[in-house]
Amino acid sequence: MRHEPDMTGGMAVELLAGRLLVASPMLRDPNFERTVVLLVSHDETGALGVVLNRATEVRVLEVLPAWGRLAGEPGVLFEGGPVQPEAAICLARTRPDAKELPGFLPIHAGVGTVDLSGDPDGLGEQLLGLRVFAGYAGWGAGQVESEIAEGSWFVYDALPGDPFMPRPDDLWGMVLRRQGGLTAALAQYPADPTLN
């Protein structure tokens, strides 16, 4: 757990950048139902993340041809969240021996954001994965902490491969199962409990 001083009151606050928010089975907001969000940034002013498990059918090659060849399977855009769906955020995972990459901002464990206005040439050999998200999820000051406290989200450590799973639809259940115990059982919770 990482703690940093809270600039507003001097108390310690857990910074969650690089961690996963996993939607509780009770979270029924259609924007976030059964989602896994990687928090890209988090501080006293709020949080920003991308939904990792909402693939679209739009190929990255169609909208960002220069970057499309680097996009891992499935090579499609992902719905990163309901905020600014016309904006693109790119996540990449570097190889352990990668040199410093221009336009790469690390988040956690070799995963970071990539500036899509840069040149993708020469990056392919240094990356283990790349994914592009249309839009993002955003929270104001204290909002994500309140949603966690009320049980809408579980917070778990991310594995470096989580954002780049070839079968992103499986990610929600997979993250819950790897927690073990009663939490693992939540992975079997029906999408519609009334049909159980």
Q: How confident is the model at residue 8 (pLDDT cuts 50, 70, 90)?
A: very low
Greater model confidence, 54 or 5: 54
Domain, as residue range, for 153: 3-195
The number of CA neighbours under 13 Å toward the Cβ of 74 is 15
CATH (domain of 161): 3.40.1740.10
pLDDT tens sequence across 107-164: 999 999 999 998 898 788 899 999 999 999 999 999 999 999 999 999 999 999 999 9
Average pLDDT over residues 17-23: 97
Tell me what the pLDDT averaged over the chain comes to: 89
pLDDT score, position 7: 32
7 or 113, greater pLDDT: 113
Q: What is the structure's pLDDT at 99? A: 85
How much of the chain exceeds pLDDT 90, in percent? Answer: 77
Question: Of the given ranges (9-23, 25-39, 50-64, 170-184), which has the lowest mean pLDDT?
Answer: 9-23
- The average pLDDT across 18-34 equals 95
| The total number of structural domains that make up the chain | 1
Q: What tokens were used for 182?
A: 């009663």
Indicate if the pLDDT at residue 6 is higher than 80: no
What pLDDT does residue 193 have? 59
